Amino acid sequence: PTPILRVLRHVLREKQLEIQERKLLILIATDGVPTNENGQQDTKSLEHALRHERNPINRIPVTIIACTDDNECIGYLNHWDKKIPNLDVADDYKSERQEIQKVQGKDFPFSFGDYVVKVLMGAVDSWFDTLDERPVTTSGPTGRRTNKAKSKSSCTIL
């Protein structure tokens, strides 16, 4: 059993007043498909909660860390990642790095520290969320790399 929904709803209830004052970042590490109280698979209820029970949704970013190679599980999570606001899905470090370098190029630097930042910031800042979805084109004072010109510096500032 993976009772994610029950725990998520509990956290949302307990932190309801605090959310009015500051954002609440929720990290969910899971190794399987969510289940209902009877132990039956139930992705629809979790999807509903992620879409409609985070109020306001922009103050409750959620990152789901997928600790599985189950294609069924990864499939619905990746779909949600693209469709649900303020939600990011991260794989394990090696898989995430492969996905990012497939999109950004094999020379794109992505250390374990960068992975930790992506896990923490992916649901907060869409730049991090889209690293594994499309080439980055943002540059400037933030120090974010761009695919337009390769930097000669060996330092990446996030």
Predicted model pTM: 0.82
Domain residues of the chain, as ranges?
4-132
Closest to 55 in 3D by CA, of 99, 23, 89, 97:
23
User: What is the reported pLDDT for 144?
Assistant: 52
Return d(Cα 94, Cα 26) in angstroms, integer: 22
Return d(Cα 8, Cα 83) in angstroms, integer: 19
Per-residue pLDDT reduced to its tens digit, 81-123:
999 999 999 999 999 999 999 999 999 999 999 999 999 999 9
**pLDDT score of 147 more than 60:** no
What residue has token string 């619905």?
A: 76
Torsion angle of the four alpha carbons 14, 17, 23, 29, in this order, in degrees rounded to the nearest 10: 10
Sheet holding 62-66, edge to edge: 26-30, 62-66, 87-90
